[in-house]
Structure 1
Amino acid sequence: MPDKNLTTMEDNPPKVNKWDGNALKNALDDAVKDVLLTRFSYVESHKLLDGRLMISSVAVGFSIFALIWDWFYPFPQSRSVMLVCVVVYFVMMGVLTWYTTYLERGIFCTALKKDPAGIDPDHVWNASSSLKRFDNKYHLRLTQKTGGVGRPKEARTVLTVENFFDETGRLLYPAVAREVLRLHSDLDSKKN
């Protein structure tokens, strides 16, 4: 049973600086994520974030190893170990850039619709967005991969930011929820 003391985003929408594009995008992203996770009772998957953290941890681990090695064996002796660690660090940063550009592709929420019987694979819903600098067009994309087979279905929309915030910068949660529910029903009605 949910805790009655917890406030949801719908009950207490965030207030942001209307002139800060990053704050606007983050508030809209959080609202979309909240709709997917609360209205449909999906379970959030953190696999993409875990992958990014793993790559970063390996890079930082090599940096720490290089620092410790250099502490015990000062520079002339640690030259080859330092060189290997620096090269591995930069390679890992390249891998991280590739990962965020081609695998994450702006995905901020991965939600799983679990099979009630636990037999069939999960339906995977991804939400991704973009908001260009000095632009008022929020590009939202929902994709659904049904049970791990077939091609993913996709629905896109371009939303004007002004329609989702009031004059004070408070998020208009019901307007965001309407758009997400519309995209969700569009995807559910599409055939594979």
Structure 2
Amino acid sequence: MGESNETVKINKWDGAAAKNAIDDAIREVLTGDLKCNESFALIDGRLFLCALAVGVALYALLWDYLYPFPQSRLVLIVCVSSYFILMSILTLYTTFKEKGIFVVAKEKVGNNTRVWEASSYVKKHDDKYNLVIVMRDSTGKSREASFNKSFANYIDTNGAVVQTIVTNEITKLYNSLSSEKKEK
């Protein structure tokens, strides 16, 4: 992928927009500059649950159309209950499985496969961007690094993310997690 020529400008006072722009810049570093392959398994799980819920809702709609209400009562009850259960599972999935992870990237190093997970969050009414990067290898070892810095460190006065600064920060974290010396 590499660095794109198109500069995305955001309202630098909008915390959600700033977070999303920095997230995208970090994704670009991991999958472009550091040449890791993005894994979409986490997103695919969410999409599967959503598609299943929509399928249940469409089935209920079609059944009710073919067999109007008094006849379709049992099917509607089952479909509405199933939809509620699927939405509850989706909520649990996004809360406990995704945990704010915006990119999962895999890297092959010899016979070892490293999985990089980057998650971020911003507290309400705060200008601090919190990033957590977790590296897991195929032996089961896991390492974590994080930082908590102001948006102003990554966004210029025009509202554009400064890609070189993001690249330097992520490369430092990547190198510190990749080195075998710093075992935690």
Specify the SS of the correspondent of 2:146: strand
Aligned to 1:98: 92
Equivalent positions of 1:26-105 (< 5 A) are 26-105=20-99
| 1:191 alignment counterpart | 183
Which amino acid in structure 2 is aligned with residue 128 of structure 1? Answer: S
Whole-angstrom CA distance in 1 between matches of 2:160 and 2:126: 19
Matches within 5 A, 1:1-192: 8-9=3-4, 11-115=5-109, 120-147=111-138, 149-189=139-179, 190-191=182-183
User: Is the partner of 2:130 in helix, strand or coil?
Assistant: strand
- Contact 2:46–2:93 (8 Å) recurs in 1: yes
CA-to-partner distance for each residue in 1:80-100, whole Å, 9 max, x for gaps?
A: 000000000010000001101
- Deviations 1:84-117, CA, capped at 9 Å, x for gaps: 000000100000011011111111001010245x
Residue 150 of structure 1: CA displacement? 2.1
What SS does the aligned partner of 2:156 have? Answer: coil
Secondary structure of the equivalent of 1:169? coil
Cα distance in 1 for residues equivalent to 2:6 and 2:147: 25
- Cα deviation per residue 1:119-156 (whole Å; 9 max; x = unaligned)? x3521011110112321010001111112x22311001
Quick check: 2:117–2:133 contact (8 Å CA) kept in 1?
A: yes
% same residue: 42
* Contact 1:13/1:172 (<8 A) preserved: no
Per the normalisation by structure 1, the TM-score is 0.89
AA matched with 2:173: L
Structure 1 runs of 4+ with >4 Å offset: none
- Under a length normalisation based on structure 2, what TM-score does the superposition of the two structures give? 0.93
Whether contact under 8 Å (1:13, 1:173) holds in the other structure is no
TM-superposition CA deviations, 1:39-83 (whole Å, max 9, x none): 111111000000000011111110000000000011111010000
Is the CA contact (8 Å cut-off) linking 2:3 and 2:32 kept in structure 1? no
Partner of 1:14: helix, strand, or coil?
coil
| Number of aligned residues | 182
**CA deviation after TM superposition for structure 1 residue 24, in Å:** 0.4
Structure 2 runs not aligned, ≥5 long:
none
Give the distance between the partners of 2:68 and 2:21, measured in 1 at CA: 48
Structure 1, unaligned runs of 5 or more? none
CA distance in 2, matches of 1:105, 1:151: 20
Instruction: Quote the RMSD (CA, aligned, Å).
Output: 1.6
How far apart in 2 are the matches of 1:115 and 1:154? Answer: 18
